[in-house]
Amino acid sequence: MVSAGIARAMIGGQSGRQLIGCQSVTHGTHQADLNYDQRKTQSDWSEGSPGSRSFRASEAGTPLVEFRHNIEIMHGYVPGEQPVPGSGVVKLNTNENPYPPSPEVTKALASLDGESLRNYPDPTALASREAAASVYGVPADWIMTVNGSDELLALLARALLEPGRKVAYPVPTYSLYATLAEMQDASIVEVLYDERFNLPLEELLAAQADLTFVCSPNNPSGTVAPLSDLKVLAAGLRGVLAVDEAYADFADENALALVKEHANVIILRTLSKSYSLAGLRLGFGIAAPELLAGLSKIKDSYNIDSVAIRLAVVALNDQTWMRANVERIKTCRTEIMRSLEGMGFRVWPSQANFVLARPPGGDARRLYLKLRDQRIFVRHLDLPGLDDKLRISVGTEKQQQALIEALEGLVP
């Protein structure tokens, strides 16, 4: 149990984790982020304890593989549950866009010529960077195309973190940050958000980490870090500030202008959310060329396939379709927030394509399981500060109506 102030938990030989805050929190591994059914599957599959030093042969019991110690003791990131396609599940658990991508993307996909697949793709994905440059208002050499923004998060960790180096971020937030830091055996400083998810600016500045992550809008709260706070943070940090803006198109403001003012800032964007292309796995890093040059040294040689490059260009060129979908989601977001609040839920003000909601009495786990029994998937994160809440992706009107009708039979 972590009391007020700072708590430390060693996760490797030279690395450690600090939790900075002013509330009592049970501090453990990120294994708690797994869905209950996924957690059981993982434990059934693995032999030995979660901290066992190696995989072992089933008969002789001799080690087959000796991983680095920090890899042996960590738990990998587990994504939200993906039902079998066509299973009829109302899927509101992984923040995908409920509406289809631009019809121009579908046309481009149907018209692909197999001959174009013989050759390797452009290693710099220039066509996609030029299309993104016209959208984001920066030169193409200020943009790096990546295999989903998760690849860029991994590149940042690999380039900037190692034993003796430090990463910092406010929590609760996207749990992949911790996984990537653990992979690098880096020291982790986690700073607690307050009840309203205000950015803990002073604590992040005091940490002076080599890499600081801020997710804005934040996952899972949907709240936005004010640009004024991010400006102060960028100016006061000696290390790199990575602003993860996967959901920025749903928000009222973003931090894109910071890259022109601060050479230590990188903005992450993705086509997964507002462009309805989560299955394409394509994102962008926007930063000064000098920062991108270091990251380019360690990326895969051909990290973006030629199909993804072509479809990304088409999607980026159809801003009208994307904006229309964003407005539909904002309307549905308002409706689901109003409906939940009318049932007694506390709902945090979201500027993303999901909402964080605390049910009356805080019995979120029971509701998560009961909804799953009815083939309605939402996300329950069994983590300190989140275990009494549900994260619910914004769906279509039909999907949200199914959710509300189910909740009406479950909430006292």
pLDDT at 230 over 50: yes
Q: What is the mean pLDDT of residues 300-322?
A: 98
pLDDT tens profile 340-383: 999 999 999 999 999 999 999 999 999 999 999 999 999 999 88
pLDDT tens profile 17-45: 888 875 433 333 333 333 434 433 333 33
Q: What residues contact 51, with CB distance under 8 A and at least 6 apart? A: 72, 73
Q: What is the mean pLDDT of residues 76-82?
A: 89
Reply yes or no on domain 113-318 having CATH 3.40.640.10.
yes
pLDDT tens profile 106-135: 999 999 998 989 999 999 999 999 999 999
Q: Where do the structural domains in the chain lie, given as residue ranges?
A: 113-318
pLDDT at 5 over 70: no
Q: Which of 52-61, 168-177, 256-265 has the lowest mean pLDDT?
A: 52-61
pTM: 0.88
